Chains A and B, each alone.
Chain A
Amino acid sequence: MGKRVGMEVSIAAAEVVGLCDVDVIAAYPITPQTHIVEHLSELVADGHLDAEFIPVESEHSAMSTCVGSAAAGARTFTSTSSQGYALMAEICYIASSMRLPIVMAVANRALSAPINIWNDHADMMMARDTGWIQTVAENGQEVVDLILHAFRVAEDHRVLLPVMVNLDGFTLSHMIEPIILPDKEEVDRYLPPYKPKLRLDPQNPMTFGPVGMPEVYTEAKKAQDEAVKESKAVIVEAWQEFEKQFGRSYKPVETYKAEDAETLLLTMGSISETAMTAVDKMRADGQKVGLAHLRLWRPFPAEELVDAVKGAKALAVVDRALSLSGGCGPVCVEVKSTLFDRGLSPYVQNFLAGLGGRDVTVEDFETMVAKVGDGLAKGLPMGYEIVNARE
């Protein structure tokens, strides 16, 4: 096993992409993703990584290049953030619909306007319905582990879907953390060479991405939906194999002190570690509080979520992106839908927090728990609030 060294998370992300023997990287720089692709371009330029680094003129071109590269049978990586994702979104739908196993790291950042380069989850929520698998890291080590996991899942012939690894912009991307990079032999043992099921080949011509008339479009989407749903078993299997080999455990829905909790916080991303500190503090005060945090956002792990929250009387669900004027934020929509489908009706309050880089503190989590406790006791209407918006 590799040594634990202090390293910027973006550099570690690039290093593990290199260890995965990626063939093609097509990318355009955007804050806060820049260091990932900068370091990859250095690895290629300095001869440490035998890959094509294609500097393109926009994110739309970046993903278009990735589509061509993956269709030709090359292991393909890119990375983006925020407005960059918005520009490549059109092609992201095409990548997933064509079942191309591209891996993309998204250093999550708020969307303009107002212009904001800081962290929230608006970009990954824009990707919610694209048919990409989405995993979420909470610290630097998880970024490394999830990128390695992403290539294995994406390229598995039972999956063949693109995977987006989400890491909070700046909060993770620009931190220097203690990170264990796997040895090359360990990576090779975990990640077999990519063998495309279908690929563009002049010797065996095929048409990728043909027109789908009304007679076939519905069936195409049904097949795609099934593929995304079915991918969950492979995602979990690949995490189990990862734990056997590397000793670090990953689950679709992680929990912390949740077993006997009456009130659960539900989070996603790096704020989950702050939430753990808040849970420790409230537990020390004798409150039965726990945490469920989503590791897998797409496919949505409904069964695992129910297992994690079924004992709780009240949930404080945190969203870091808005669905303006909707019933609640996107995470809470999924939570409520999952519970309603199964006849479960805990008290659920949705907190829109950490928007555009606003800190979410231990005290904020304590306030959320107090509010759901109060709401449950008084029978206050459920809904959402935008946390700490100054009047």
Chain B
Amino acid sequence: MAKETGIVSWKELELGCTLTEPGSAAQLKTGDWRSMRPVTNFELCNKCGQCYIFCPDMVYSKNEEGYYEADYYYCKGCGICARECPKDAIQMVEEGD
């Protein structure tokens, strides 16, 4: 839990807040303040991977069929994927809808 949220006691912080584990930011749940989320219509998707390329975080990854699926653990709802999708396959949907 501590890793996921970054919430730890001051006694557990590493000296000078140093991060001693490379790539540890991948463990942080950074997609918890999103108001909109991207939803892909795979009927329209042509597997071009533009969403994967343009995502500033690491939301998209390729599944076994070659489609790009979103991992909302990291998604802040910026909408860049929807803006860049050449097939308009990605729609931004209000959280809670």
Interface residues of chain A, those whose CB is within 8 Å of chain B, are: 97-100, 160, 197-198, 205-210, 212-213, 215-216, 218-220, 222-223, 226
Question: Of B11, B13, B22, which is within 8 A of A216 by CB?
Answer: B13
Give the residues in chain B near A207, CB-CB below 8 Å.
18-19, 22
The answer to the question of B1 belonging to the interface, with a C-beta cut-off of 8 Å to chain A, is no
Question: Of B7, B9, B20, which is within 8 A of A215 by CB?
Answer: B7
Interface residues of chain B, those whose CB is within 8 Å of chain A, are: 5-11, 13-20, 22
Whether A216 contacts B6 by the Cβ 8 Å rule is yes
Task: Determine the distance from Cα of A149 to Cα of B6 in the docked complex, in whole angstroms.
Answer: 37
A208 CB, nearest partner CB in chain B, Å:
5
Task: Determine the distance from Cα of A346 to Cα of B5 in the docked complex, in whole angstroms.
Answer: 50
Give the residues in chain A near B19, CB-CB below 8 Å.
206-207, 210
Task: Determine the distance from Cα of A268 to Cα of B11 in the docked complex, in whole angstroms.
Answer: 34
Give the residues in chain B near A98, CB-CB below 8 Å.
16-18
Whether A198 contacts B18 by the Cβ 8 Å rule is yes
Whether A223 contacts B11 by the Cβ 8 Å rule is yes
Whether A160 contacts B15 by the Cβ 8 Å rule is yes
Give the residues in chain B near A97, CB-CB below 8 Å.
16-17
Give the residues in chain A near B10, CB-CB below 8 Å.
218-220, 222-223, 226
Give the residues in chain A near B7, CB-CB below 8 Å.
215-216
Question: Of B9, B11, B15, which is within 8 A of A99 by CB?
Answer: B15
Whether B13 contacts A206 by the Cβ 8 Å rule is no
A202 CB, nearest partner CB in chain B, Å:
11
Whether B9 contacts A219 by the Cβ 8 Å rule is yes
Give the residues in chain B near A208, CB-CB below 8 Å.
16, 18
Task: Determine the distance from Cα of A194 to Cα of B72 in the docked complex, in whole angstroms.
Answer: 46
Nearest CB in chain B to that of A220: its residue: B17
Knowing A215-B5, A219-B9, A222-B10, say if A206 contacts B20 (CB, 8 Å): yes
Give the residues in chain B near A222, CB-CB below 8 Å.
10
Whether A206 contacts B18 by the Cβ 8 Å rule is yes
Q: For B6, B14, B18, B22, which residue has the most chain A Cβ atoms within 10 angstroms?
A: B18
Knowing A205-B22, A206-B22, A223-B11, say if A213 contacts B16 (CB, 8 Å): no
Give the residues in chain A near B13, CB-CB below 8 Å.
216, 219-220, 223
Knowing A205-B22, A206-B22, A219-B9, say if A198 contacts B17 (CB, 8 Å): no
Nearest CB in chain A to that of B22: its residue: A205
Nearest CB in chain A to that of B20: its residue: A206
Task: Determine the distance from Cα of A78 to Cα of B20 in the docked complex, in whole angstroms.
Answer: 28
B32 CB, nearest partner CB in chain A, Å:
11
Q: For A198, A219, A226, which residue has the most chain B Cβ atoms within 10 angstroms?
A: A219
Knowing A205-B22, A219-B8, A226-B10, say if A212 contacts B16 (CB, 8 Å): no
Task: Determine the distance from Cα of A198 to Cα of B20 in the docked complex, in whole angstroms.
Answer: 8
Give the residues in chain B near A160, CB-CB below 8 Å.
15-16
